[in-house]
Structure 1
Amino acid sequence: MAILNLPHWGLVTTTILSCLASPALLAPVESDTERRGSQPVRIPMGQSFHGPTFNLTYGNPPQTMVMLDDWTWHSTWFYTPNCKGNYSVPNCVLPGQNFFDYKKSSTFHQTSDAVQTFSGTDYAPGLPFTVNFGTDKMCLPDRNSHDNICKPKVEVEVSDLPYEFPVVEDIGGIFGYAPVLNGFNATFLPAPYQFMQAGAFSKEVGWHMCTALKNKKSCDNQDYLTILGGTETSVYRAQSMQEHPIVVTPCINAGNLNLSPARDNYWSASWTGLWIGGKSVALSAPSTGQPPVPDASCNTINPVAIFDEGKFGDGAPIPLAAFPSIVNATGAVKINGSAVILNQGKQGLYSVSCNKINSLPNLTYELSGKQNITVTPDMYIDKVAMPGTCLLNARAWDRTKNGAQTFFGTTVIEKTYLKFDYEKRTVGVAPLNNNLF
């Protein structure tokens, strides 16, 4: 998720050269192909500080870009040498930063679409994030065909920042997937959707992750597998797939999502229930005598679960009022320190006894009143962020400040298959097959 103010400047990866050289991220390429048809495109992805990443090319001649895979971003964004109203590689791009140099592409054209500004992002915390728009040739690697699947004119966002970017990020761009609503213009069309419009593959996207599986074969030995135009049918049962219509409501923008223009097009579902062990947890807005958000009508709707595989979606969401319940149920103890790879929020860090993990309760999340996702203790207890310490990876969701929406990320869905359908505007959810664990 790209909408967050996090103080992580000193902790980002300082070089992306290893990502560029990684054979796991660069599929073997025999040719560039512009094709029409229903053959899915298979893209395995590795892990980065921000979330899943893969490489594509953009421009002519092609420039290799390290992209963050982001379901919540509404377009494709590239870091460029534009800052303070000028184009300057030495002044606007730090050594080691992956970026798109549009002046080196003979086919790049800037469009006349209006500038968009985001008031706070995970990539520039606390700073305005401004983009222009342009078109050029994009090629996606396909592990199935060993070809690059290309489209000659894909509209993307290009950075035009009013400041010099202060750190090297481990990505050079964002590959967005957000759903497309009626009336959207080209600035709200993700690259996969533009390929779908051109007939390159069908209008659905499949995703699963392999970090919790006994092996990574189903992700082509990477951490994640995204399939454009299909799903990996071998890892889930079709009859288990439940489809949830996305929730489109201005209440998503009624909290602290400060976007210009405001938007509510997210892959989402209605969050209708939560249990810690067998005990039900209230999801309703707290009775404080004050509306939690400026629009009081947002108090009465079910909370909105927004699916986000990036860093912002980390942690099992728990209503703030119920956070003491999970602390008590797990015997967690508050500790000092910080683990920015966990999205622990203001509640701070809590540790649990590592030898009691198997006895901790499951968390059960109900979607649309018809389907449950079970989160086992090994999913919400983190053993990596602080070696030797087992941390409670739960995130307090404060409806008073955050509004009706919260984020369901990999902590919740690492054992789940997801299918995003651009045509029906639904999210399909199915448990991964038990034999994978």
Structure 2
Amino acid sequence: MTRTDAPLNHPPQTMVMLDDWTWQSTWFYSPNCKGSYSVPNCVMPGQNFFDYKKSSTFHQTSDAVQSFNGTDYAPGLPFTFNFGTDKMCLPDRNSRDDICKSKIEVEISDLPYEFPVVEDIGGIFGYSPVLNGFNATFLPAPYQFMQAGLISNIVGWHMCTALKNKKSCSNQDYLTILGGTDTSVYHPQSMQEHPIVVTPCINAGNLNLSPSRDNYWSASWTGLWMGNTAISLSAPSTGQPPVPDASCNTINPVAIFDEGGFGKGAPIPLAAFPSIVTATGAIQINESAAILNQGKQSLYSVSCGKISTFPTLTYELSGKQNITVTPDMYIDTTTMPGTCLLDARAWDRTTAGAQTFFGLTVIERTYLKFDYERLTVGVAPLNHNLF
């Protein structure tokens, strides 16, 4: 069905996929929409898609149709899928031969509308962890390859946009390794393992996923410092339970690792957001913060000549490891040329619930190791000589 280095023919079909650590499986755009199969009506010209009817190895399964609400891919519209199995091939960076497995379960889009735009991807290559009791509809492709003994239970990731060069990412912005990590860019002894947090409180706020789930690569967020000043992670006292389950107000917040839109911006508790505005001398401007991240706060500019004087942000995970975010990491200098923007994201526990997102702004100098077997996230700083 899919090979990353093969020409587009039938079979195989080459798919351009987007990595998504929070997506549960692998889904493909297909010519299904409004109850029928039609390439002219359901696929915009130029859209990469999977034409499952031209795959001799595709078989639809009897798994129930699922619908997801609140996705980035179709905001405000249901994202509906049915399921099937097909042969999938992945490139092996250590060999000229692909790693292939038959009967990988995947999601096939079956939308109740014509998709209105051309996306630069043909689907999502999901990576979310697999919990006990999950059926095949929750199994990401790497997990299924691991089950077959074709790759190990590890996925490694780092980004190169802040490095001196992109050689360690094969000259791309990021590098994902299925079945291992790249120990040349971090010291293995500095890797700390964090058990993922599984709790209904992840979905207690406005995450708005349907069906609700709590299988994310995550860690307990136990501390935050702005410079030398400790910042409270507790919800402010409002006289009302912050979420439907008041017990979610008492647990440590949950840091969900997300390289997508939800993870942009350095998370700051809403009550502390004025502090970072003051510390950076930020000035509110008449633009939406949505151009940077998913935060609900206003957008602020700062003096480009004073960035080095701004405070460092320190995030503590599981009470045992810190991630340091320097001012140049949370100040954006590229979105609006000539203007430096405060790339911080207000986290309001009273509406968002216990979860927040740790994404590119926080982890751009960090190596991540996702372990499907132990259900842990490994965190290590990238080697200093890379910067």
**Aligned equivalents of 1:331, 1:144: Cα separation in 2:** 50
Asked if 1:387 is matched to 2:371, the reply is no
Distance 1:241 1:68, change over 3 A: same
Moved over 4 A (4+): none
Identify which of 221, 225, 228 aligns with 2:171.
221
Deviation (angstroms), 1:145: 1.2
Deviation (angstroms), 1:346: 2.0
Asked if 1:405 is matched to 2:362, the reply is no
Q: In the alignment, what sits opposite 2:367? A: 417
**Aligned equivalents of 1:390, 1:145: Cα separation in 2:** 44
SS at match of 1:157: strand
Q: Is the 8 A contact 2:285 2:299 kept in 1?
A: yes
Alignment of 1:169-318 (within 5 A): 169-318=119-268
Q: Which amino acid aligns with 1:174?
A: I
Q: Is the 8 A contact 2:289 2:295 kept in 1?
A: no
TM-score, normalised to structure 1, is 0.86
Identify which of 354, 360, 364 aligns with 2:304.
354
**Aligned equivalents of 2:168, 2:58: Cα separation in 1:** 37
**Aligned equivalents of 1:129, 1:120: Cα separation in 2:** 9
Q: Is the 8 A contact 2:4 2:16 kept in 1?
A: no
SS at match of 2:86: strand
**Aligned equivalents of 2:215, 2:154: Cα separation in 1:** 16
- 5+ unaligned residues in a row in structure 1: which ranges? 1-24, 30-55
Deviation (angstroms), 1:142: 2.3
Deviation (angstroms), 1:26: 5.5
**Aligned equivalents of 1:79, 1:192: Cα separation in 2:** 19
Asked if 1:80 is matched to 2:30, the reply is yes
**Aligned equivalents of 1:103, 1:407: Cα separation in 2:** 38
SS at match of 1:361: coil
SS at match of 1:235: coil
**Aligned equivalents of 1:279, 1:391: Cα separation in 2:** 22
Distance 1:206 1:99, change over 3 A: same
Deviation (angstroms), 1:225: 1.1
Identify which of 134, 144, 151 aligns with 2:101.
151
Deviation (angstroms), 1:339: 6.0
**Aligned equivalents of 1:124, 1:434: Cα separation in 2:** 39
Deviation (angstroms), 1:167: 1.0
SS at match of 1:145: coil
Q: Which amino acid aligns with 2:332?
A: D
Q: Is the 8 A contact 1:207 1:227 kept in 2?
A: yes
Deviation (angstroms), 1:285: 1.3
Q: In the alignment, what sits opposite 1:33? A: none
Q: Is the 8 A contact 2:289 2:298 kept in 1?
A: no
What is the aligned length?
Answer: 385
Q: Which amino acid aligns with 1:275?
A: W
- 5+ unaligned residues in a row in structure 2: which ranges? none
Alignment of 1:3-42 (within 5 A): none
Q: Is the 8 A contact 1:344 1:393 kept in 2?
A: no
Q: Which amino acid aligns with 1:243?
A: E
Q: Which amino acid aligns with 2:301?
A: S
SS at match of 1:90: helix
Identify which of 353, 377, 385 aligns with 1:427.
377
Alignment root-mean-square deviation, CA:
1.6
Q: Is the 8 A contact 1:137 1:154 kept in 2?
A: yes
**Aligned equivalents of 1:319, 1:129: Cα separation in 2:** 31
**Aligned equivalents of 1:61, 1:339: Cα separation in 2:** 44
Distance 1:344 1:163, change over 3 A: closer
Q: In the alignment, what sits opposite 2:79? A: 129
Asked if 1:106 is matched to 2:50, the reply is no
Q: Is the 8 A contact 1:60 1:107 kept in 2?
A: no
**Aligned equivalents of 1:104, 1:346: Cα separation in 2:** 45
Deviation (angstroms), 1:340: 4.2
